[in-house]
Amino acid sequence: MANLKIFVLAVALKGLTQAAGILPDGPLNGSVGGSVMFTTSLTEADGPFDGVTWSFGVSTIIQHTPTNNLTYPAYEGRITFFPSTASLELKDLTLDDGGQYNVNVFPDRSGRTKLDVYAPVSSVTVTPQSSDLVEFSSFSLTCSSSGPSLSFIWMNSSSEVTSSDRVQITDGGSTLTVVNVTRYDEQSYRCRVFNPVSEGISDPVNILVSYGPENTKMSASPSQEFYEEGSDISLSCSADSRPSAQFTWFVNGTKLPDSGPELTLRNIQFSQRGDYSCQAFNSRTLTNETSPSILISALQKISRVSIKASTEQIIEGSSVTLTCEASGSSPSRTWKKDGSDLNLSENVTLSEDNTVLTFKAVKKENSGEYVCLVRNPVSSSEAKFTIVVNYGPENVQIEGKDLINENDQIKLICSAESTPSATFTWRLNGSEIIGSSAEFLKEKAQSSDSGTYTCEAKNTVTEKQSTAEHELHVRTGCSSGCSAGCIARIIVGCLVVAAASAGGFTVYKKRHNREPEPPPQNTEENDVYEEMSTVYQNVGK
């Protein structure tokens, strides 16, 4: 014990002459019932220490030597000492624990710091002066809480409230006043109270602001400029207002018996046409506002659309009109051809109201499907008409062989451009042939079938006709179907047989006693010619 007293005295004297400042700058903050840690800047490498003394003001907390610890009665069970760093933890804090704390580490280290102890924040409440306001009035909120050294922050639904030309925060922050209240001030407000060791927040207080009516407007469903007679129309009225506005209805300035935000017009007729409006009224602000009006009009639906042609049979080159007829209110007409917009020209024109489509001289390219679309703002309908331009026959042609052998098939095909399709008549050398189809067919040709074939095409609607001719030669006799050499041998044979009869030879000679024709140029035909000449000369001898 004597050694401990000598150590304390030595440390005290050393501390008066040299302070190393081994504690953090203060103040440190503690909460009633909580704990605080006095941590020195020393480490285990700085030890071991000859002695350590902690004190609060003039009262000793603990004295420590390598061989002994002495904790003073007021701190028994409330402290934890850490010999390796000379640090100290103080528990179960009370308001009386606030003050200056010192540590002396022998031989030459010391430090001092301050501890502030606070009671926890509790019982935070907000009291409104009024919570149901009319726009452009004022309100105040007062915040209260238990505990000393309190600070206040006001929060609305989304952020912190700060002072401005309309917002005043007074009484150390505990009172919030808002002047010229607007609808945007209608939200929840809270008060946040705090001290260095704790904080608390109040329950929300809802501020309600009555305003309006404003922005009173109405709408129609379905929304359109014109309505078909017999339609049901729903009118809706709305306004920015708190509390919700009450509504009355007017047509052409005359009040209707209906009330409420909805007005339904059923099976509307032309007689109900007019300017409709609604009026909103706020029972709290005692003001009203009337909406802009909406014109409600009814139209008759488009019906009985048809296209009528000026003639039943449309012949190329004639003048034709198509008239689009329809019933209903305010019809407008649009024409299309084969699904595309109609192209007008000097030959194809429309009347001023698009009712009559005129072809000054109709052409075959004007054939196609024509559509007249009739519409008004509430309906539409269409009619179709197909123009068939009758023309022709044109470009009459005959297809087939011009040289065949006897007993071969004759096949000739006649074609013509014509609407409707042409009928056909065949002639051979000017004489009509039985049959009227586009194809002339004979299974076995005869020599009498050689000649000029004429195909006559006729259009029964245009009453026009056109012809084409085709020359056909049918080869007959021994030469039929043989080559030039074959023909020569056949002829030679024939002449030999003929030579057996003197009479026949005489006749033959008489009939052929004339100068032979010049030889042909083709090699094979020339050989035939020479062979025939030799035979002829021998027979003649």
**Which amino acid would we find at residue 229?**
E
pLDDT at residue 481 in the model: 46
Give the span between the Cα atoms of 341 and 158, in whole angstroms: 60
The sign of the dihedral angle between the CA atoms of 255, 260, 262, 267 is negative
pLDDT value at 14 more than 50: no
Give the span between the Cα atoms of 60 and 38, in whole angstroms: 15
Give the span between the Cα atoms of 44 and 489, in whole angstroms: 142
* Ramachandran angles phi, psi of 273, nearest 5°: -60, 140
pLDDT at residue 183 in the model: 87
Give the span between the Cα atoms of 54 and 104, in whole angstroms: 7
- Quick: pLDDT tens for 138-195: 999 999 988 777 899 999 987 899 999 999 999 999 999 999 998 888 889 999 999 8
Is-same-fold flag (122-206; 303-387)? Answer: yes
pLDDT at residue 477 in the model: 65
pLDDT at residue 265 in the model: 94
Helix (H) or strand (E) run with residue 488 in it: helix 484-499
Over residues 230-235, mean pLDDT: 94
Report which listed range, 14-28, 35-49, 121-135, 510-524, is most confident.
35-49
Sheet strand arrangement including 410-419: 314-315, 389-399, 410-419, 439-442
Evaluate if pTM is beyond 0.85.
no
CATH architecture assigned to 303-387: Sandwich (2.60)
pLDDT at residue 498 in the model: 40
| Residue with tokens 């047509």, as numbered in its chain | 251
Sheet strand arrangement including 368-376: 340-341, 332-337, 368-376, 379-387
Task: Identify the weakest region by mean pLDDT among 235-239, 344-348, 476-480.
Answer: 476-480
With respect to CATH, is domain 391-475 assigned 1.10.3080.10?
A: no
Distant-in-sequence, close-in-space partners of 58: CB < 8 Å, separation ≥ 6: none
How distant is the alpha carbon of residue 430 from its chain centre? 73
Q: For 2-118, which CATH class?
A: mainly beta
- Split at pLDDT 50, 70, 90, the class of 530 is low
The sign of the dihedral angle between the CA atoms of 335, 341, 344, 347 is negative
- Split at pLDDT 50, 70, 90, the class of 378 is confident
- Please give the CATH number for the structural domain made up of 122-206: 2.60.40.10
Over residues 56-83, mean pLDDT: 92
Over residues 23-29, mean pLDDT: 91
**Residue ranges of domains in the chain:** 2-118, 122-206, 210-299, 303-387, 391-475, 484-540
Helix (H) or strand (E) run with residue 346 in it: none
Helix (H) or strand (E) run with residue 259 in it: strand 254-259
Of 442 and 534, more confident: 442
Fold of 210-299: Immunoglobulin-like (2.60.40)
